[in-house]
Amino acid sequence: MTATHTLFHNLILLSTTMLMDNQPPSQACISGVVYTLGDLTAQTYEGRSLEDFDRGRILRSGVCGFIAHGPLSHLYYENLDAYFNNVLMVGGGGFFGVGGWAWRGVLVL
């Protein structure tokens, strides 16, 4: 193995370990970045140039992903897993069908 390959392998192991040990903060950061990139993409497809980007909208999207979507989704799925592991054992389709139904109810409220 070369030194570059070993360094790359160690970085992958380190990042994987950090993601698994710090799931809510990791998911919050990832969700914030994805929301920000999604809004940038949406504004690009709207035909806006770099000077015309709505920076407030980009910031709001990123903050929404960071504060709301990432941590709340983590808590929701942790609780859903605990509930179904203790109460009900359903095949894959039933589990995701009920999970999607419940999540939609949370979003509507």
17 Cβ contact partners less than 8 Å away, ≥ 6 residues apart: none
pLDDT above 70 for 83: yes
pLDDT above 60 for 91: no
Q: What b/e sequence results for 40-66 when a residue is b if at least 16 CB atoms lie within 10 Å of its CB, and e otherwise?
A: beebeeeeeeeeeeeeeebeebbebbb
Question: pLDDT for 22-80, tens place per residue?
Answer: 777 888 888 999 999 999 999 999 999 888 999 999 999 999 999 988 888 888 888 88
pLDDT above 90 for 19: no
| DSSP single-letter state for residue 2 | -
Q: What is the pLDDT of residue 56?
A: 94
Q: What is the pLDDT of residue 35?
A: 93
Q: What is the pLDDT of residue 108?
A: 46
